[in-house]
Amino acid sequence: MSSGSVQESAPLSGAAGLEAARKEYAELRARGLSLDLTRGKPSPEQLDLAGDLLSLPGGGDVKAADGTDTRNYGGLLGLPELREIFAGPLQVPAGQLLALGNASLTLMHDNVVQALLSVVPGGERRWADEPRVRFVCPVPGYDRHFGVCERYGIDMVPVPLTGEGPDMDVVEELVASDPTIKGMWCVPKYSNPTGEVYSDETVRRLAAMRTAAPDFRLFWDNAYAVHHLTGERVEILSILDACAEAGNPDRAFVFGSTSKITTAGSGVAFVGSSPANVAWMKERLLKQTIGPDKVNQLRHVRFFRDTDGVTAHMERHRALLEPRFAAVYEVLESELGPLGIAEWTRPKGGYFVSLDVPDGCASEVVRLAKEAGIALTPAGAAFPYGKDPRDREIRLAPSFPSVEEVREAMRAVAVCVRLAAAEQEAAGTAG
């Protein structure tokens, strides 16, 4: 198979096009590849960047800044010096930012469950006592957010993203008219999977919109706050400030973690909010734990030293990630660009590229890729209930494989897209 300009030998239209697309796909299958673009995981090289963590804080270095012995119980809200380091990046005052366990997803899950089982500030009853609870879900979005809703019977209302965040005309109308809408998932910066960044206007409107539910909450998952992929370090408005200014100080819970900064699964997760919400979360924490893993938190403090340390560290990640994303664009442009059958995002940060293929083709592309040894995220994964109504979006995760593997996998994806599109065209002509 030639790699640079396959589309020249596979013109899309007509029986000859279908024939050529089938032939290059047969060649692809014969190669017996085994590649994986499903995992939004840091590569081993990225994890090595935080290799020193494994020997920190080091023998005898056990005391936090205030003299607390980190090996012992206590310190429910996390080490103050670590909360200071992440206060700026997460746009939450350190006093209102808690440094807790190893995963922000756990904190999001627990906040949803806590809202189901105990009345949130400003609420009249527990969400579990409502006849129905619904969440606004910008799409495409993060499948694990949707999984939390599905697990607890929270209905999901998809709202399209516009390039500047969710379609706010739709969101405002929904939340103003429907008191069963209690929450909304937001990944405001370098969103998973489209790389969406919420504009200042979007943030202000989310903070100020009138909600029929008095206990409506934004679940503001700023998972990619410092995960820049270009020299432009995109900043967004602070949601907590915007909510306070709009007179809705308790509207947002902010989440983040070091999962894709230091070590995935053994980093530190954060949650921040208004003083009233923090007090509410603290009531749960008091029953849930005697304190977080402060040794791990101290390790992170020693590793970063300060917020500039985080920034410098993220530049090292960028150096590893940028060429992988460049490989994705390069192949998509050369192999699919001239055909006009696909569109893709060019995120300024985060972990994913979102590829839109012709309507009705995403499942077929994923199936063809699988048969050729290329694992792709299941079509529809970025939509509530796993259903993409247009069956066109495919989430590409280029961080984990090597640059050459990314290139190879993307060439294979392009072959599959061309075949799926040619098959669809042929079926349309036949019908």
CB of 320 to ligand PMP, least distance (A): 17
Determine if 187 is a binding residue for ligand PMP (CB under 6 A): yes
Please say which residue, 17 or 401, places its beta carbon nearer to ligand PMP. 401
H or E element that contains 313: helix 307-335
Nearest distance from residue 431's CB to ligand PMP, in Å? 39
Among 142, 146, 190, 219, binds ligand PMP (CB under 6 A): 142
Q: For residue 307, which of 68, 92, 44 has the smallest C-alpha distance? A: 92
Q: Are 156 and 137 in contact (CB under 8 A)?
A: yes
Amino acid at the residue 255? F
Residue 103 or 213: which CB sits closer to ligand PMP? 103
| Residues 194/345, Cβ–Cβ less than 8 Å | yes
Phi, psi of 254 (to 5 degrees): -105, 135
3-class DSSP state for residue 396? Answer: strand
Q: What is the total count of residues that contact ligand PMP (CB under 6 A)?
A: 12
297 lies in the binding site for ligand PMP (CB under 6 A)? no
Within 69-108, which residues bind ligand PMP (CB under 6 A)?
A: 103-105
* In the complex, least distance from residue 50 CB atom to ligand PMP, rounded to whole angstroms: 14
Nearer to ligand PMP, 189 or 251 (CB): 189
Nearer to ligand PMP, 123 or 140 (CB): 140
The verdict on 355 binding ligand PMP (CB under 6 A) reads no
Cβ proximity to ligand PMP: between 22 and 284 the closer is 284
SS3 138: strand
Backbone angles phi, psi at 236, to 5 degrees: -120, 170
- Other Cβ atoms less than 10 A from the Cβ of 346: the count is 12
Residues 206-265 that bind ligand PMP (CB under 6 A): 221, 223, 257, 259
Q: How far is the CB of 354 from ligand PMP (least distance, A)?
A: 13
Alpha-carbon span 295 to 318, nearest angstrom: 28
- Closest distance to ligand PMP from the beta carbon of 101 (Å): 9
Sign of the C-alpha dihedral computed for residues 367, 369, 374 and 376 taken in this order: negative
Task: Say what angle helices 168-177 and 200-208 make with each other, to 10 degrees.
Answer: 10
What binding mask, one character per residue, do residues 17-56 give for ligand PMP by CB under 6 A, x or -?
-----------------------x----------------
Secondary structure (3-state) at 134: strand
Cβ proximity to ligand PMP, 219 vs 280, nearer residue? 219
Q: Residue 16 CB, nearest distance to ligand PMP (Å)?
A: 42
What gap in Å lies between CA 427 and CA 431, rounded to an integer? 6
Minimum Å gap between C-beta 102 and ligand PMP is 8
Residue 355: helix, strand or coil by DSSP?
strand
Minimum CB–partner distance for residue 103 and ligand PMP (Å) = 3
The single residue listed with the structure tokens 């985080």 is 310
| CA distance linking residue 70 with residue 58, whole number of Å | 13
Residues that bind ligand PMP (CB under 6 A): 40, 103-105, 142, 187, 192, 221, 223, 257, 259, 269
